[in-house]
Amino acid sequence: MKKLPLYLLLIAGLLLVACGGGPSGGPSSNTGGETTSDDGTVQLARELSVYNWTDYIDEEIITNYEAEYGVKIIYDTFASNEDLLAKLQSGATGYDVIFPSDYMVALMIELDLLAEIDLSQIPNFANIDDDFVNAPFDPGNKYCVPYQWGTTGIAYRAGHPFFEENPPDSWAYLFEPELLQQYSSGGINVLNDQRELISAALAYLGHDLNTRSRTDLEAARDLILQAKPYWKTFNSEDYEDSLMVADEVVLSHSWSGDASGAYYKTYDEETEDGNWYFAIPKEGGVKWMDNACITKSSTRHATAMHFLNYLLDAEVAAAVTNYTYYGSPNAAALPFILEEIRNDPSIFPPEETLNKLQWLDDPGEAIFIYDEMWTAIKG
């Protein structure tokens, strides 16, 4: 791990003493706040509140940070960008570090929900691959650092008689009744995620995934409503384990890492194969990047940046990917990523596959149309 500038560097022993909550009161009786001494030394806060996607970090990464730096992490999870936004907009001010995706970063910047970061305090930012720096949704990385990236496609049960003959290669496998009839009795899951599900429908219809057209979005809604009776579940949280690994479904709209996770968790040494395969539909779809950002309301900004820097350490970032099976934007992490993950085209797809995929943008005012369609879909 690269050394932090001296004034941010915490001497763990000192912190433990300072935070012991001794009878003398003063800063040490402060439950979470940081303190800055006259010489500019920042002592890390006692606590940091981190709000991340479900099942998106190896717990050991958290406990290691707590043990090494004496900061207690209050960890909470959300299921979608929209849930995260709703939480912040409902006035929740306790969260310090959050993990919005690309389009949601743009929206949150606009809504003034994010605090600017100081990259000079995040030396491990130098570990990030140039391809992931300075993304259009956050020019100059003024607000966020890249955390994980991936793709969205279709996971399907290997060995299923229908899929053996007809390997899913199109979003038709999620939307066309003639196909759905052939395997829906085995269970089909879709991501409980409004941009993702609407994007899959838009891709199948040949529309721009960032369309602002009401006509396009209504067509996507209608396609979804026609297929919905064939779907068993809307789940984007624990579908990997509770539905795919558990064989409760035979096909799922899926994020790359969850499909790969299901493959590795069901891997059989004898057959040298896992039960779940992942396909990127020929019509294309979404590629996404999730980011670590600091809320505007955070009162523990220096500690939050310290934590961001920790996440960007090469070995820590590799441990994240070795747990989540998502792509890492951290170039320095690559040598520490398990070989089977590094060489897995479902996780790190070839250029020609990536070129078929689109990043999602902040839809501007059309967000209200997306919300309206989603309400109709879920109703």
Binding site for ligand N2P (CB under 6 A): 53-56, 101, 255, 288, 290
Nearer to ligand N2P, 304 or 320 (CB): 320
Taking CB atoms, the residue at the shortest distance from ligand N2P is 53
Residue 260 Cβ vs ligand N2P, minimum distance, rounded to whole Å? 12
Nearer to ligand N2P, 55 or 372 (CB): 55
Nearer to ligand N2P, 99 or 183 (CB): 99
Asked if 167 and 156 touch (Cβ cutoff 8 Å), the reply is yes
Q: Which amino acid is at 329?
A: P
Q: What is the DSSP string of 277-335?
A: EEE--TT-EEEEEEEEEEBTT-S-HHHHHHHHHHHTSHHHHHHHHHHH--B--BGGGGG
Residue 189 Cβ vs ligand N2P, minimum distance, rounded to whole Å? 14
Nearer to ligand N2P, 54 or 213 (CB): 54
Residue 309 Cβ vs ligand N2P, minimum distance, rounded to whole Å? 22
By three-state DSSP, how is residue 182 classified? helix
Residue 81 Cβ vs ligand N2P, minimum distance, rounded to whole Å? 8
Nearer to ligand N2P, 126 or 338 (CB): 338
Query: CA angle, 103 as apex, 145 and 89 as ends, to 5°?
Result: 90
What is d(CA 273, CA 240) in angstroms, rounded to the nearest whole number? 17
Nearer to ligand N2P, 10 or 191 (CB): 191
Residue 54 Cβ vs ligand N2P, minimum distance, rounded to whole Å? 5
Residue 41 Cβ vs ligand N2P, minimum distance, rounded to whole Å? 37
What is d(CA 310, CA 198) in angstroms, rounded to the nearest whole number? 35
